Chains A and B, each alone.
Chain A
Amino acid sequence: MNAITNVVGQSLEDGARVARLKKAVDEATYGGCIERAVLWSEYYMDEANDGKSTAVQIAEATRHVLANKTVKIYPDELIVGNFTAKRVAGICYPELGGLGIMIGVDKLPTRKVNPLEISEDEQAKLQSYIPFWMDKNMVYLAFDGQEEQMRFVKEQIEALQYQLYEAGGIAHLAPGYEKVIKLGAEGIIAEVEAFEAQTNDPSKLDFYQSVKISMNALAEFGDRYATEARRLAEAEADPQRKLDLERIAEVCARVPRYGATSFYEAVQSMTLTHIAIFQETIGETTCPGRVDQFLNSYYEEDLAAGRISRQEAKDILGAFCVKLCETIPMYSDELTSMLGGLTSWEVVTIGGQDSEGNDATNELSFILLELADELRMRQPNFHVRLHENTPKAFYDEVIRVNFGPGSAPAMYNDETIIESMMNVGYSLEDARDYVAIGCVEPTAPGKTLGSTDAGMYNMALALEMALNEGCQFGSDRQIGVKTPPVSSMKSMDDVLDAYKVQVKHQLGKLHADLQKCEQFHAKYHPTPITSATLEGCLEQGVCSTQGGAKYNFSGIQGTGMAVVADSLGAIESAVFEDKWLTLEELVAHLKDNLSDEVVRTRLKGIDKFGNDIPKADAWMKWVGDHYSDSIHALGKNTRGGQYLAGVYSNTSHTHFGGLINATPNGRRAGETFASGFAPENGADKRGSTALINSMNRIDFKKFANGINFNIKLDASSYDCDDGKSALGSMYKVYFKRHGMQVQANMLDPKILIEARDNPELHPNLLIRVSGYSAYFNDLSPEMQDEVISRSSNGAEQ
């Protein structure tokens, strides 16, 4: 076998190639691809496959897809592999949550939010499989009887109390790509055979067989690219490109079949495995993980041997990053409102420490940060790990990359996260190796089925129901428990008791539904490729969906935390302390949507979370602690792991907020909640340092599934040397006092325009004039315009 020993001299053109790849992907029309659905259906409709074990069926169906799906190598590509038949498209999974998409597929091209191109022929073809999957899809198989199925579907669509993403597939993990890169599919097969020889257990043997089928399919998938590259090379007129294609052919003939022998092969092996996992099951939020760590030895060896330059490694990684943008989720309208945008949450985690606790920042960490800065694409999500010994040069670079279009990298505090993970059972070494999954969820890569986004829970509904005997205001639909009427609540404790009862009841329901989904995956949708990469599965002979991985968790996110905290604080202050209205009067005002402006203004004026006011912040801590304890009280999931509490919201805060009536914090019906672990919009009026002081009153170690703290900053204030160093110090203080995660939202001058148009959104924007005391919101419209125009000029300079 000829390994690629020298990529030096390729037409890498110092980043220009990656820029061209980016351009092609940026300009591609987003589509929906039916190929996986068609091939999957073909396999299951073929009666010859009836009667095989579920695991073998999944493995063979995946093989059928990998062997027959379109194989494409696009111009300029160095790293090859196509998720779908289109350049940028989503995949439909009929056996999981795809049925809803199939039924409404005709609306996809024309819908307002996130339209997806899909031809009429493709639509018709996709719809032709609907009858077949009606009684073979996840909901049908997970829930008993039509009534239960209908209830679950209805509740999922309405998403008032909660939404379960595990109903659409588990994903939400970082597979052990390191293992595939090292051993290759053949190496894993050898490992499987060794285990096989030690057991007679039919269920284990069945699982092993499924893994072998899958690994062969993965190896052959690589061969297909080798063949295609050779074909293209023969036809290629440009000698330079011809050389590229020949190299691609050599690389794909080796990986992922065999262990990688170079940096280039390692990245290619990871790419094709990643794409194969997207065919096996839903792929969104399957995360590459600590790419800078597990690729570093390949990079250093190649570098030392003169087989690669820094720029070449950067181009290869850049090509990989661009590739991650070629997949988008194919969501129904309902899911789009919860998950917004077209992110596929493929997280690349950068920096941090090694399993011994030493700083692990390396040259690849810097290269990835540069790519984050230069590419600024939808994917991958770049998440940065920081700790006490993070090199200053790296930290400065992270702060620098905070500025620019698009989202800033999310930053994680190793200290808090490692401790929170150990609290729920990770070993110190494994916790130190954590990656962030999806939005913010820490897990140990290659050994955890974290199902970190199993569900989203609407906390604010519990409060509304606590104030209305288990119903929403103006409705007699008994969603919750019939708790006592407010007329009989004589103290804050009475209110809290009712709230606790409603939370417990809702989470109980969520738990029951979630366990049905878990059991579906265990019984009907094993994942042999994914499992083969996860420590524990082969050793035990158990698929990860059945609890084979070393660690097993399910993460449930609470949304609306600040609205509940501020509301409880408002009730305490207005009703039980200052007594300027009774609880009954308050609820009457809420039912009337706070149309009395004086009452609403008074409620708004009560101290809120995020202003460095201990009492208001204590409510946030209470609500958070109670939520975390309630989730932990759910016990074990069916994979034998713990349920973990997280606080982030994607866009569910807008969706849930839209369904909740007026709340005691002065919010009117339908208004959005704050995102994740943040103060209510506009409630933090005393600036970022006060906000961080408030955040630091929270015990984040209770949220092992992660939190999202999105801090909105006026970029013009910080985008200078002094500002950057102040920003860096601000984050450091937050982390030093056990902050967990933070991601900046740099807005400029948009934030000023937004603040002018919606004064309630940004009450805390300072006017940057020395010795001057006023907030932007205090200015007259004319003066606001004047400030905006100054700031826009500044931005152009």
Chain B
Amino acid sequence: MGPDASLIDAIAVTEPRKASLYFDIKRNTLDDGPGIRSVVFFKGCPLSCTWCQNPESINTGYELSYDAEKCISCHDCADACPEQAIDLSSPDKIIRDKCTQCFKCVDVCPSGALERCGNDIDMDHLVEKVLEDEAFFEASGGGVTVSGGEALMQMDSVGELFSRLKQRNVHTLIQTAGLFNYKVFENLVLPYTDTIYFDLKLMDSDAHKQYCGVPNHSIHENFRKVQALARDSVIEVLPRVPLVPFITDTDENLSAIADFMLENGVKNMQILPYNPIWLDKLPRFGSVQRLDFGEGTGKFMPDAELDRCTEIFESRGIHVHCHR
């Protein structure tokens, strides 16, 4: 058992929620699995990667988001706030310590500058929402992807959602960071899952703990198990590696991941080019930037870099998918 066992147990004993906590549903996506898909972004994640492209997804509670670009300075929010937690003259606008997340300000904001991040939704509504594009799933061979955060922090919800979707023959896909209680997963979710996109980030467990907040043993354990399922054709698995300059994209790390994949019989994998847009989301939640590697922090990766990373896998006979 790795040192992250307690965390896994903690996830496992979490009381089943009556509702699912999500922060977004994105329709018409083409990059989150086959065909036209809708993606449910669940909120909450046991990891806390410094480069997380959806930083608003990590926290398991609600959050208040403020977008200065949209604000028309009408002051309605400040007038409505019972806690005097809004000071539009201050640089931060929202005094996060004072905010009790009552979201009265969101209700009055005319511009959408203030938004509530994180909503509870009951299963009927969730199913209804993701099925808005059912006709497109059917025509394109698409379906529903759960992402996050870590969707598998809410396995009751995902299991229930997928079982309802499978009744309608909708393709289901999980994007996971890999830290979840396998037993619960096997019972609740696996029977209704078609495909797993499984992220591997850093092979060195200390580095993993440093950058992602937790060690990686349990993740790798889970990876071995789902790969075994893939080999038995129970489900499809596509391992993915997010490329973060100087952190995950080093020759050393990628070679180690590639070898680990080979050990587990991986034939296809996907690299996810570094996405700098996450930086934009930080100020809206009053969060601080935890990652800075100079100028490249705000840039997409050059093709030459992607070629180098691709080659590390291809040279071992693993086919690399990559959306450039």
* Interface residues of A, Cβ cutoff 8 Å to B: 597-598, 601-602, 605, 612, 686-690, 692-693, 717-718, 722-723, 725-726, 729-730, 732-733, 736-737, 766-774, 778-780, 782-783, 786-787, 789-790, 793-794, 797
One of B155-163, B183-191, B202-210, B275-283 contacting the partner: B275-283
- Cα-based distance from A7 to B169 in the complex (angstroms): 57
In the bound complex, residues from chain B placing their C-beta under 8 Å from that of A726 are 30, 35-36, 140, 142
On whether the beta carbons of B53 and A769 are closer than 8 Å, the reply is yes
On whether the beta carbons of B74 and A779 are closer than 8 Å, the reply is no
On whether the beta carbons of B277 and A772 are closer than 8 Å, the reply is yes
Task: Tell me the smallest distance from the CB of A601 to a CB of chain B, in Å.
Answer: 4
- Cα-based distance from A787 to B69 in the complex (angstroms): 18
Instruction: Give me the 6 closest cross-chain CB pairs, A-B, nearest first.
Output: A729-B140, A729-B139, A687-B28, A770-B31, A601-B110, A689-B28
Interface positions of B from 4 to 25, Cβ below 8 Å from A: 23-24
Which of the residues A772, A786, A797 comes within 8 Å of B300, measured between beta carbons?
A: A786
Tell me whether B39 is interfacial, beta carbon within 8 Å.
yes
On whether the beta carbons of B277 and A783 are closer than 8 Å, the reply is yes
- Cα-based distance from A771 to B176 in the complex (angstroms): 10
One of B85-93, B118-126, B128-136, B311-319 contacting the partner: B128-136
- Given known A602-B110, A768-B323, A787-B277, contact A778–B67 (CB-CB < 8 A): yes
On whether the beta carbons of A766 and B26 are closer than 8 Å, the reply is yes
Tell me whether B72 is interfacial, beta carbon within 8 Å.
yes
In the bound complex, residues from chain A placing their C-beta under 8 Å from that of B300 are 786-787, 789-790
In the bound complex, residues from chain A placing their C-beta under 8 Å from that of B31 are 768-770
Q: Is the interface of A mostly helix, strand, loop or mixed?
A: helix
In the bound complex, residues from chain B placing their C-beta under 8 Å from that of A725 are 35, 140
Tell me whether B216 is interfacial, beta carbon within 8 Å.
no
Tell me whether B193 is interfacial, beta carbon within 8 Å.
no
- Cα-based distance from A726 to B31 in the complex (angstroms): 11
On whether the beta carbons of A774 and B136 are closer than 8 Å, the reply is no
What class of interface size applies to chain B in its complex with A? 35 or more
Task: Tell me the smallest distance from the CB of A655 to a CB of chain B, in Å.
Answer: 30
- Cα-based distance from A689 to B27 in the complex (angstroms): 7
Task: Tell me the smallest distance from the CB of B28 to a CB of chain A, in Å.
Answer: 4
- Given known A726-B140, A732-B139, contact A772–B30 (CB-CB < 8 A): no
Tell me whether B41 is interfacial, beta carbon within 8 Å.
yes
In the bound complex, residues from chain B placing their C-beta under 8 Å from that of A718 are 30
From A602, A689, A690, A692, name the one whose CB has the most chain B CB atoms within 10 angstroms: A689
On whether the beta carbons of A605 and B54 are closer than 8 Å, the reply is no
Tell me whether B286 is interfacial, beta carbon within 8 Å.
no
On whether the beta carbons of B136 and A597 are closer than 8 Å, the reply is no
Which of the residues A605, A686, A797 comes within 8 Å of B112, measured between beta carbons?
A: A605
In the bound complex, residues from chain A placing their C-beta under 8 Å from that of B32 are 770-771
Contacts A/B (CB < 8 Å), 17 sampled? A597-B72, A602-B110, A605-B112, A726-B30, A726-B140, A732-B139, A733-B136, A766-B26, A769-B53, A770-B29, A770-B272, A771-B32, A771-B54, A774-B281, A782-B298, A786-B276, A786-B277
Given contacts A729-B140, A730-B140, 8 further A-B contacts (CB under 8 A): A601-B110, A729-B141, A730-B36, A770-B29, A773-B24, A774-B281, A786-B300, A789-B300
In the bound complex, residues from chain A placing their C-beta under 8 Å from that of B136 are 689, 692, 729-730, 733
In the bound complex, residues from chain B placing their C-beta under 8 Å from that of A686 are 27
Task: Tell me the smallest distance from the CB of B197 to a CB of chain A, in Å.
Answer: 8
On whether the beta carbons of A783 and B279 are closer than 8 Å, the reply is yes
On whether the beta carbons of B277 and A688 are closer than 8 Å, the reply is no
Tell me whether B299 is interfacial, beta carbon within 8 Å.
yes
Tell me whether B310 is interfacial, beta carbon within 8 Å.
no
On whether the beta carbons of B280 and A729 are closer than 8 Å, the reply is no
Tell me whether B175 is interfacial, beta carbon within 8 Å.
yes
On whether the beta carbons of B29 and A733 are closer than 8 Å, the reply is no
